[in-house]
Amino acid sequence: MLDIKFLRENPDIVKQNIKNKFQDSKLPMVDEVIELDAKKRDCQQEADSLRANRNKISKQIGALMAQGKKEEAEEVKKEVAASAARLSELEEQEKELDEKILKIMMVIPNIIDPSVPIGKDDSENVEVTKYGEPVVPDFEIPYHTDIMERFDGIDLEAAGRVAGNGFYYLMGDIARLHSAVISYARDFMIDRGFTYCVPPFMIRSNVVTGVMSFAEMDAMMYKIEGEDLFLIGTSEHSMIGKFIDTIIPEEQLPKTLTSYSPCFRKEKGAHGIEERGVYRIHQFEKQEMIVVCKPEESPMWFDKLWQNTVDLFRSMDIPVRTLECCSGDLADLKVKSFDVEAWSPRQKKYFEVGSCSNLGDAQARRLKIRVKGEDGQKYFAHTLNNTVVAPPRMLIAFLENNLRADGSVAIPEVLRPYMGGMTELTPKHN
């Protein structure tokens, strides 16, 4: 959420940013919020004047009563009562205006970084760098669920009966591989200095609206009926929420956390849920990373975060690339974002396995996450987040890139300690 003062003083910048994000329907909101803000400040000014006058008159009443001038004191009391009624009216108006302003400000997009490429949607995202050599083997690579079924590693049919489309049972070696990847990712991030965290898997509505836009909330979040609770779509939400309404001493920054959690998503919208497979699903598990830092340090942390994901995948010999998200593909709170995509030998193209985002002070402003500097001044922190790894989607890349012609799957050295020393997975049947 933008600073109202910034919007008031820079309406043209805010409007151009809206145009850059191809959200022209929001342009009238800028003038509307400026008008509402002016009305609110008029109310505040009149109310402040009335309060000052009330204090002055109250002293007069005391003086008149002390002098025995009761009739004059009663007349002055009537004046106080009249101003009190007007003050109450102004305070109610101010409250209503505050609510209207907040509602609009919550949907005006954050100012994107000048380096972000301008484009309408993800088709205009820009490739940054490739890591590793993409390989297409000389044998056919089956669809990922077919590979898993050879190991008796997945049961979509039973999951459909139990929970419906978009769920799965992982079994045996595939389930063990799934857990091994999560455990390796946890230790990988701990070795890079992040504090391990297992967060709440449900969060209150004020945290939800603090960490994401209304559009994201509608498309992603599951509401718990009868409770002010939502299932998390990613542990970023509850980890950033950990700092709600706090003032962090500057010397304690940065806060660097890595967390494990299950994630739950409605997946509403154009993509929908796969009929068969585990690429886009309602439930999955993930290792995440977040940073809360000083504003001037957030660009540096942004580069560190996406590099962590690249390094993790490369340690398992999976080719990846980074894409910079264009303006139209950025969610409203984001300043800048990179996607990390893994190579799919079967599809002969890359697909998304992680997303790294710098949100500037947008989340901190909504959640009131402030920093106290050495000079005693308070300011809003910057927040960032990135996917470490999100199986089972990551398993697709892993199985395709480590599949051999005989149907076995090689286990990279870094995962072997988490797989009981196994060097390969052997299929149960072809």
Looking at every residue in the chain, the average pLDDT score rounds to 92
The highest-confidence range among 52-66, 235-249, 262-276, by mean pLDDT, is 235-249
| Whole-number pLDDT of residue 88 | 82
| Whole-number pLDDT of residue 73 | 58
DSSP H helix total and E strand total for the chain: 13, 18
CATH number assigned to the domain comprising residue 89:
1.10.287.40
Question: How does DSSP classify residue 163?
Answer: T
| Whole-number pLDDT of residue 309 | 97
For residues 365 and 233, membership in a common domain is answered with yes
CATH number assigned to the domain comprising residue 312:
3.30.930.10
The lowest-confidence range among 78-82, 151-155, 200-204, 405-409 is 78-82
For residues 128 and 99, membership in a common domain is answered with no
pLDDT of residue 213 exceeding 90, the answer is: no
Confidence of residue 80 (pLDDT cuts 50, 70, 90): low
For residues 243 and 138, membership in a common domain is answered with yes
| Whole-number pLDDT of residue 214 | 77
**Each residue of 293-328: pLDDT tens digit?**
999 999 999 999 999 999 999 999 999 999 999 999
pLDDT of residue 270 exceeding 70, the answer is: no
Question: How does DSSP classify residue 278?
Answer: S
| Whole-number pLDDT of residue 58 | 64
Confidence of residue 84 (pLDDT cuts 50, 70, 90): confident
* Centroid of chain to Cα 115: 20
Q: Is residue 329 part of a domain?
A: yes
For residues 76 and 174, membership in a common domain is answered with no
For residues 153 and 220, membership in a common domain is answered with yes
For residues 360 and 257, membership in a common domain is answered with yes
Report the pLDDT averaged over residues 212-220. 83
pLDDT of residue 51 exceeding 80, the answer is: no
| Whole-number pLDDT of residue 361 | 96
Q: CA–CA separation, 316 vs 397, rounded Å?
A: 10
Among 49, 79, 105, identify where a domain stops: 105
Q: Is residue 406 part of a domain?
A: yes
**Each residue of 328-377: pLDDT tens digit?**
999 999 999 999 999 999 999 999 999 999 999 999 999 999 999 999 99
| Whole-number pLDDT of residue 269 | 55
| Whole-number pLDDT of residue 366 | 95
Report the pLDDT averaged over residues 114-134. 96
Report the pLDDT averaged over residues 117-128. 96
Q: CA–CA separation, 233 vs 267, rounded Å?
A: 10
pLDDT of residue 70 exceeding 70, the answer is: no
Sequence-ordered alpha helix ranges (H) in 254-361: 298-314
Confidence of residue 135 (pLDDT cuts 50, 70, 90): very high
For residues 90 and 127, membership in a common domain is answered with no
Q: Is residue 430 part of a domain?
A: no
Q: Name the pTM for this structure.
A: 0.89
Q: Is residue 115 part of a domain?
A: no
- Given the structure tokens 């893994």, which residue do they identify? 342
Do 389 and 353 form a contact (C-beta atoms < 8 A)? yes
| Whole-number pLDDT of residue 86 | 78
Please count the structural domains in the chain. 2
For residues 390 and 304, membership in a common domain is answered with yes
| Whole-number pLDDT of residue 230 | 95
Buried b (16+ CB within 10 A) or exposed e, 126-162: eeeeebbebeeeeeebbebbebbbbbebbbbeebeee
What is the number of alpha carbons within 13 Å of residue 41 lying toward its C-beta? 9
Confidence of residue 75 (pLDDT cuts 50, 70, 90): low
| Whole-number pLDDT of residue 76 | 63
Report the pLDDT averaged over residues 251-263. 97
Report the pLDDT averaged over residues 105-131. 96
pLDDT of residue 21 exceeding 90, the answer is: yes
Q: Which domain range does residue 40 map to?
A: 4-105
Among 77, 105, 133, identify where a domain stops: 105
For residues 14 and 149, membership in a common domain is answered with no
What is the number of alpha carbons within 13 Å of residue 101 lying toward its C-beta? 21
SS3 label, residue 346: coil
| Whole-number pLDDT of residue 207 | 95
What is the number of alpha carbons within 13 Å of residue 237 lying toward its C-beta? 30
| Whole-number pLDDT of residue 74 | 60
